[in-house]
Copies of this chain bind each other. A is one copy, B any other.
Amino acid sequence: MHRTLSVASSPVRDLLALTSRPEVISFAGGLPAPELFDLDGVRAAYDRALRDRAVLQYAPTEGDPALRDLVSSRLTGRGLPTSDVLITTGSQQALALVATAMLGPGAVVAVEEPTYLAALQCFRMTGARIVPVESDADGLVPSSLRSVVATEKPGLLYLVPTFANPTGRTLSAERRVEIAEIAAAHDLWIVEDDPYGELRYRGSAVPPLASMSDRTIYLGSFSKVGAPGMRLGWLRAPADLLRTLTIVKQAADLHTSTVDQAAAAVYLADNDLDAHITRLCAEYGARRDAMLAALPATTPAGTTWSDPDGGMFVWLRLPGDADSAVLLKDALQHDVAFVPGAAFFATTPDHATLRLSFTANTVEEIGEGMARLAKVLL
């Protein structure tokens, strides 16, 4: 009767507080590079949006109609025909809405392992049981999903198929087809979380799962290609489910900031976001290359790492019985930071893993940070 939820804070967000000392070179947070924000363009967009008094008023829960059209057109242009989306307060809110609408005590949710830890947090809060599905260099392993579906009967599968958090890996096109088939055969809903998909530094785009399966809830975000401070995400789902999720959003926050939505709509109409993303990709690609190039001289023999085609992250596994949480304490004394991998596991953590983000530091800073990290790891 006097229940208060027992909850644990995100280790990454707690870590961000620890690593905010200016002398620390942090590879911990999944932060976009602030110097690459189009601050002038965004400020101009707010200024233009705020010439209309209506942007200060309450607004429909579904979101700004102009922004919904612009987002739907962008998705359609990227090969995912989209008639409507629900605008959310960042794609984290989309995850929370899905969790509220579709999970609860007794529900089972399957997740790629390792996976985005705030998704795990969100699912845990509903009381649902989380079951891991194996992944390898090509992403989630379909045979593992078949086995989990047969034994655990999950209602939902959550994954970040493109440039995953935390691994940076991309699910191959062949596996996507197979996973869509499994979902169709077993009444499984897929949550395709895609905040990084447009940040590709080499190779060519893989079709989204949502283009192969009607049972997919597709989540997108302005945070990695625009600005996370605006807290704008979107959710694409079949019409019935979109309506349910809209009602859940009414109770969650009535609607997302009218001001931020209007500014984003103006920004998208007045600016060439693709050109901005091309600039981001050129710079982030160079940062990725710098980090990958430094890894052999940074890590002990036997260390393995992912080789991301895009996104923000490299995932490492140290040899032997290394514990990256212990190593982090040493790293912080050397003014460098990363995220220990354990928190990204749903059940049994691999303590020898860790996540490095290469987007928020310049090539020079990456060089210096990796040199500091070498002193810790070698």
Task: From B17, B51, B227, give the contact of A60 (CB < 8 A).
Answer: B17
Cβ contact within 8 Å between A35 and B58: no
Are B253's CB and A230's CB within 8 A?
Answer: no
Chain B residue at minimal CB-CB distance from A124? B251
Question: Which of A60, A92, A155, A263 is the most central at the interface, judged by chain B CB atoms within 10 Å of its CB?
Answer: A92
CA–CA, A267 and B64, complex, Å:
24
Q: Check A50 against B56 for contact (C-beta < 8 Å).
A: no
Q: Is the CB of A253 within 8 A of B47?
A: no
Closest residue of chain B to A228 (Cβ to Cβ) is: B58
State whether B244 touches A257 (Cβ < 8 A).
Answer: no
Flag whether A363 is at the interface (Cβ < 8 A). no
Does A258 interact with chain B (Cβ within 8 Å)? Answer: yes
**Chain B residues closer than 8 Å to A7, beta-carbon distance:** 101, 244, 247-248, 251
A204 adjacent to chain B (CB < 8 Å): no
A75 CB-CB contact with B under 8 Å: no
Asked if A254 and B57 sit within 8 Å, CB to CB, the answer is no
In the complex, the answer to whether B47 meets A227 with C-beta atoms within 8 Å is no
User: In the complex, A60→B20 CA distance in Å?
Assistant: 11
Cβ contact of A46, chosen from B46, B125, B231, cutoff 8 A: B46
Q: Which residues of B contact A50 (CB under 8 A)?
A: 39, 42-43, 46
> A241 is contacted by which of B4, B35, B42, B155 (Cβ under 8 Å)?
B4
A229 touches B55 (CB 8 A): yes
CB contact under 8 A between A3 and B155, given known A121-B250, A251-B122: yes
* A55 partner residues in chain B, CB cutoff 8 A: 229
A37 within 8 A of B: yes
Q: Once the chains bind, are A5 and B250 in contact (CB under 8 Å)?
A: no
Q: A34-B53, A254-B231, A257-B229 are in contact. Are A13 and B89 (CB under 8 A)?
A: no
Which residues of chain B have C-beta atoms less than 8 A from A34's C-beta? 53-54, 56-57
A5-B102, A56-B228, A105-B105 known; A10 and B257 CB under 8 Å? Answer: no
Residues of B within 8 A of A250 (CB): 9-10, 13, 118, 121
Q: In this assembly, does A90 line the interface, its C-beta being within 8 Å of a C-beta of chain B?
A: yes
In the assembled complex, A72 has its CB within 8 A of some CB on chain B: no
Q: A90-B254, A96-B253 are in contact. List 9 more A-B contacts (CB 8 A).
A: A7-B251, A9-B247, A13-B250, A43-B51, A56-B227, A56-B228, A56-B230, A95-B251, A96-B252
Q: Which residues of A contact B (CB under 8 A)?
A: 1-5, 7-10, 13, 17, 29, 31-32, 34-35, 37, 39, 42-43, 46-47, 50-51, 53-61, 88-90, 92-93, 95-96, 100-108, 118, 121-122, 125, 127, 153-155, 187, 189, 223, 227-231, 241, 244, 246-248, 250-260, 263
A/B interface sample: 13 pairs, CB < 8 A: A1-B154, A1-B155, A3-B155, A7-B251, A13-B250, A34-B56, A37-B53, A42-B50, A57-B228, A96-B253, A231-B256, A253-B253, A260-B260
